Amino acid sequence: MSKFRKEGGKELPEISTASLPDIVFMLLFFFMVSTTMRDVELNVSYLQPQAKELTKLEKKDLVSNIHVGVPLRKYQKTFGTESRIQLNDQFATVDDIQSFIASEREARKEELRNKLTTSLKVDRYTKMGIIVDIKQELRKASALKLNYSALQGADEN
Amino acid sequence: MADIAFLLLIFFLVSTTMDVDTGIYKKLPPIPEKQETPEDIKVKKRNVLAILVNRNDELLVNGELLDISQLREKTKEFILNPNNSDELPEKQVKTVPYFGDVMVSKGLVSLQNDRGTSYEMYIRVQDELAIAARELKDEKAMSKWGKVYSELDKEQQDAVKKYVPMAISEAEPKNVGGKR
**Positive or negative CA dihedral for A24, A29, A30, A31?**
positive
Find out whether B51 and B59 touch, Cβ atoms under 8 Å: yes
In angstroms, the CA A137 to CA B104 distance is 35
One-character DSSP codes across A107-135: TS-GGGGGG-EEEEEE-TT-BHHHHHHHH
Chain B residues in contact with A138 (beta carbon < 8 A) = 28
Instruction: pLDDT tens for chain B, 180 residues: list them.
Output: 778 888 888 887 777 766 677 888 888 888 777 655 555 567 777 888 888 888 888 888 888 888 888 888 888 888 888 777 777 888 888 888 788 888 888 888 888 888 888 888 988 898 898 888 889 889 888 888 888 888 888 888 888 888 888 888 887 666 554 444
Nearest CA in chain B to A38: B16
Report CB contact under 8 Å: B22, A151. Answer: yes
Burial class, A43, CB count within 10 angstroms (exposed 0-12 / middle 13-18 / buried 19+): middle
Report CB contact under 8 Å: B21, A51. Answer: no
The pTM score is 0.76
CB atoms within 10 A of CB B70: 13
Q: What is the pLDDT of residues A73-126, one digit of tens each?
A: 888 888 888 888 888 888 888 888 889 988 888 888 888 887 888 888 899 888
Mutate to test the interface with A, among B119, B148, B150 (most CBs of A within 10 A): B119
Q: Indicate the Cα dihedral angle A104, B32, B169, A96, nearest 10°.
A: 30
ipTM summary value: 0.73
Nearest CA in chain A to B19: A35
